[in-house]
Chains A and B, each alone.
Chain A
Amino acid sequence: AQSVTQPDIHITVSEGASLELRCNYSYGATPYLFWYVQSPGQGLQLLLKYFSGDTLVQGIKGFEAEFKRSQSSFNLRKPSVHWSDAAEYFCAVAPNTGGFKTIFGAGTRLFVKA
């Protein structure tokens, strides 16, 4: 069955420290991969996406993610976290053959301490 796993329910990092949020997926083929961010009480905003090509993708707000086919992972990284990055982050996958069933992970809540 298709699934997306975000192993960390919440993570706390100090401002200025580096960040890595983990995402693993289970899919029949290489899917399209996304990271979204949700601020409290708000909708989701796309950070970045991977469809094909270079496995290291750059997104908005200084985020990047690396697709590793052998590990079925798409981890999100940022070299230096800002207090405004505190939010919930969702990894998502969609079939690269078309279709509507984008599957979202359960999310990782990021806390940033001063």
Chain B
Amino acid sequence: SQTIHQWPATLVQPVGSPLSLECTVEGTSNPNLYWYRQAAGRGLQLLFYSIGIDQISSEVPQNLSASRPQDRQFILSSKKLLLSDSGFYLCAWSSLPPGSDTQYFGPGTRLTVL
């Protein structure tokens, strides 16, 4: 069966520090991968999606970046965190065809920037 992992589960970082959140998927090949951010009291905002290794699309301008060095690994990064980067970050995957398929979410990372 397929599983999706995210770590760390929680993170407290000072403003201006770097960030690296990791997401890995097991039990499937060539998944579509997604990073979402969920701010308090708001819905999910799609940040990045990827259809393959080194194929990343950004949905919103921000100081975050994403990379996909391996088929089932998706990394969210920042060089300098802002207060506004605080939130709950969710990684998800889906199978082809894209858009029409269920997305399977990881447990999330709670990021607090102080």
**B13 → chain A, closest Cβ, in Å?**
18
Chain B minimum-CB-distance residue to A94: B99
Task: Tell whether A34 is near chain B: CB-to-CB under 8 Å.
Answer: yes
Closest to A105 in B: B43
Q: How far is the CA of A57 from the CA of B18 in the complex (A)?
A: 45
Contact of B97 with A by CB under 8 A: yes
Residue in B41, B92, B98 whose beta carbon sits within 8 Å of that of A98 in the complex: B98
**How many Å lie between the Cα of A98 and that of B39 in the bound state?**
27
Contact A51 B42 (CB under 8 A): no
Quick check: which of A13-21, A39-47, A62-70, A75-83 contacts chain B, the rest being far away? A39-47
CB pair A101–B43 under 8 Å, yes or no, is no
Residue B107 interfacial (CB < 8 Å):
yes
Q: Is A43 within 8 A of B99, CB to CB?
A: no
Which residues on B are within 8 Å of A, measured CB to CB? 4, 6, 32, 34, 41-44, 46, 49, 51, 57, 59, 90, 92, 97-100, 102-108, 110
